Amino acid sequence: MRKNLLENIDFDTAKKIADEYPALSKKDMDRMFSASMKKSKKLSVEGESREKIFNSAIAKAVDESFEDVQLLKIEKYKKPVISRYIGIAASLGIIVAGIATMGILLGRNSDMSDSSVIEPATQFTVELPTEAYTYSHDYKAVAYRITDEYFNMDRYIYTGGFEYKESNGLPPADSEIVIHYIKDGVDGVKSYYPVIDEKFPDMEAFKAYYYFYRKDGYTVNADMETYSDNIFGGNITDEDINSPETIGEKLYAEDGIFYEYININGKLYMLEYPIVEGIEGISKLKWVSEPVISDITEDSFTITRVFNSVEDTTMTDVTVAFEIVWDETAQDWRAASETITW
Amino acid sequence: MLKKEKKKAEYARKIFDEYCNYVYIIVLNKIKSCGTKEDIEECVSDVFAEIFRNTDKIIDFEGDLKCYIGTVAKRRAIDTYRRLSSHSGRVQPLDDGIISETASAEDIEKSYETASRNALILDKIKSLGEPDTTIIIKQFYYNMKVAEIAKAISMTAASVQKRSLRAREKLKAMLVEADITL
């Protein structure tokens, strides 16, 4: 009842309740008022000071025309909604593939190396676990085994999309960069897309932006805590920013969303991590429905199951449909693909 | 100059007194699942800091101030929710509560339905009579604990708890009768 009473409260109802049933004490209100005034003054002073420093940093870092300088204005890029969903599905696939590959490599006791290979690619390769299991036609048991494993793995879940070069909601296949890497025993891939934010038209702009904040005397994480927009987070250093090859593995934060940037031949590419699940120690998703079996044929069937957050009561149900096929080589059922409906 | 500053400060206080509880409810509604009382208060302060920075414009503002302040509060609360969610690792539902730049006819219809539903629920809560109305409002809209409510309305925590349970049952029946399921 609590959740539903409060759900989507509209401005009229909120004002009516606030007027007729005020709950904050005079003491609470005085405290918040004084905090608001202090913040307001601080923001006004900092706003003026930051503008001056920013202009100065831009002038020094970019020896370009006035129009080019304008490109560095800090503006928020609005992501196409569809790209968010595509990003989710594609990213989940990549991560599952990474973990599956880890399992195979561990099984073969192969020798892992720390080498990384960068090669261009034109499309995603989505793979799912192909480990062998005991032959079974007990669809329900297969469904539990496959779906339960889905949430028992430590992995990243990307719940956001990428900022694409094209604005039609699809990634530009010819400009996508796929990095194959081995890290902490996991063989995986990451797909980066060309940065199109006006504030980062190229590496020089990225540097100018970076130096602007460095000169402002803020530590990167303090910036992330203090301001919700357009600030550096993570641990980018002067050394990273001047590296001719890469600034990969370093993060920039905006609105609590993390971006990883990589510099390839002077062009800035990025990958987005809105929420990190599993690795950060949270496994707060759970199945909230029984698996439903459908579309049974001789060598395939479909499992549909719904998950939700363990703690976040505002999250809506998410449905995953797994296409299960019979693997002749492994002599077992395996998930061939998954479709997530958010 | 000083007179102008004084006038601005007085106006800021007036705005704050008028809209503080309102902003508090909006912020609380958005970040209650992941924020502490301190987080909510900080977010409320951020909202008013932003509003106070624009006092000059607001003094001459002829539009609906309630909507303007509500929108600032909602946007700031969503920012805070994202920040807190990413720190705590909670999964953020896509597009939850995000205010569209342009409202479609469907959005408007949905907003109207939500507002009508909320108004009806509030009427039913009011019909419970005092002190039950106050208890339910403080509990559900202000997220206050039984002990806090008891202190605020000079009752024992046990009485508040009992009254709350009975009031909720009664409210549930009234809402079912009105074809609203919670």
Domains of chain B are 1-94 (1.10.1740.10), 117-182 (1.10.10.10)
Contact check, Cβ <8 Å, A36/B48: yes
Model confidence, pTM: 0.43
Chain A residues with CB inside 8 Å of B151's CB? none
Quote the pLDDT of residue A304: 92
Does the ipTM exceed 0.90? no
Nearest neighbour of B45 by CB, restricted to A5, A15, A36: A36
d(Cα B96, Cα B106) in Å, to the nearest integer?
A: 17
- Three-state SS letters, chain B: CHHHHHHHHHHHHHHHHHHHHHHHHHHHHHHCCCCCHHHHHHHHHHHHHHHHHCHHHHHCCCCCHHHHHHHHHHHHHHHHHHHHHHHHCCCCCCCCCCCCCCCCHHHHHHHHHHHHHHHHHHHHHHCCCCCHHHHHHHHHCCCCCHHHHHHHCCCCHHHHHHHHHHHHHHHHHHHHHCCCCC
Quote the pLDDT of residue B153: 81
Retrieve residue B134's tokens: 């106050």
pLDDT above 90 for B68: no
**Length in residues, chain B:** 182
What are the pLDDT digits (tens) for A312-336?
A: 566 677 788 888 888 888 778 888 8
Chain B residues with CB inside 8 Å of A257's CB? 82, 86
pLDDT above 60 for B143: yes
What are the pLDDT digits (tens) for B39-62?
A: 888 899 989 888 888 777 777 766
Contact check, Cβ <8 Å, B91/A314: no
Chain B residues with CB inside 8 Å of A16's CB? 119, 122
d(Cα B99, Cα B78) in Å, to the nearest integer?
A: 9
Quote the pLDDT of residue A315: 61
Chain B, 26-85: which have a CB under 8 Å from a chain A CB? 26, 28-29, 32-34, 41-42, 44-50, 52-53, 66-67, 70, 79-80, 82-85
Q: What is the mean pLDDT of residues A232-250?
A: 49
Q: Which residue has the higher pLDDT, A47 or A36?
A: A36
d(Cα B113, Cα B180) in Å, to the nearest integer?
A: 12
For residue B139, the chain A residue with the least C-alpha distance is A2
Quote the pLDDT of residue B141: 81
pLDDT above 90 for A302: yes
